[in-house]
Amino acid sequence: MKKNPFIVSVAVLVITVLVAIVIFFIYNQPTSWQAEDLSLISDSQIISILKTSSDVQEYIKSHPDFKIDKKEILTKESIVAGSNGVNFREAYSGLSPEGSRYMRVDLTNQAGDRGMIIMIDFKKNKVVFSALLLLFAQNEEQQTTSPTENQETP
């Protein structure tokens, strides 16, 4: 029984295309930080990641009445804008311009005079930047950063 070279060539081509499609889908599976919608992450999940940073642990220990004041999922545009901005440039400068990878979390104590700005990298599930803030009640726009900053490269 002789096989037609055309049929063999088509069969090899079809198998090659199927293997390529399977490989494409395997390697393009979203990572855990992409698969989850960051807006669905609970405060307790965020706090568990925050507790992996010694600086944030110290803040939480010193201010057990802390609360999450603000959560912002960073987009490519907000990372670029933050890197070129006036306030907290250093918080954004080490971040890769990827959407839905990072979240900015602002903590404040109950009195509202001590806070912390934190950047979480959900690709690595860790804090990549944290800075202690002294907040002035008279003018909420005026904030100063304390000398204790923790910055890691993503």
Domain spans of the chain?
A: 37-151
The yes-or-no verdict on residue 44 having pLDDT over 60 is: yes
Query: Binning pLDDT at 50, 70 and 90, where does residue 40 land?
Result: confident
In this structure, of 6-10, 25-29, 59-63, 75-79, the range with the lowest mean pLDDT score is 25-29
Quote the pLDDT of residue 145: 47
Mean pLDDT over 118-137 rounds to: 87
Please provide the CATH number assigned to the domain covering 37-151.
3.10.450
Q: How far apart are the first and last CA of the chain?
A: 62
The yes-or-no verdict on residue 7 having pLDDT over 70 is: yes
Q: Measured between alpha carbons, how far is 93 from 81 in angstroms, rounded to an integer?
A: 10
pLDDT-above-90 percentage for the chain: 41
pLDDT in tens, 70-115: 999 999 999 999 988 888 888 888 898 888 899 999 999 988 888 9
The yes-or-no verdict on residue 33 having pLDDT over 60 is: no
Quote the pLDDT of residue 137: 55
Largest CA distance in the chain: 93
Q: Is residue 102 within 8 Å of 74, Cβ to Cβ? A: yes
Q: Measured between alpha carbons, how far is 22 from 43 in angstroms, rounded to an integer?
A: 37
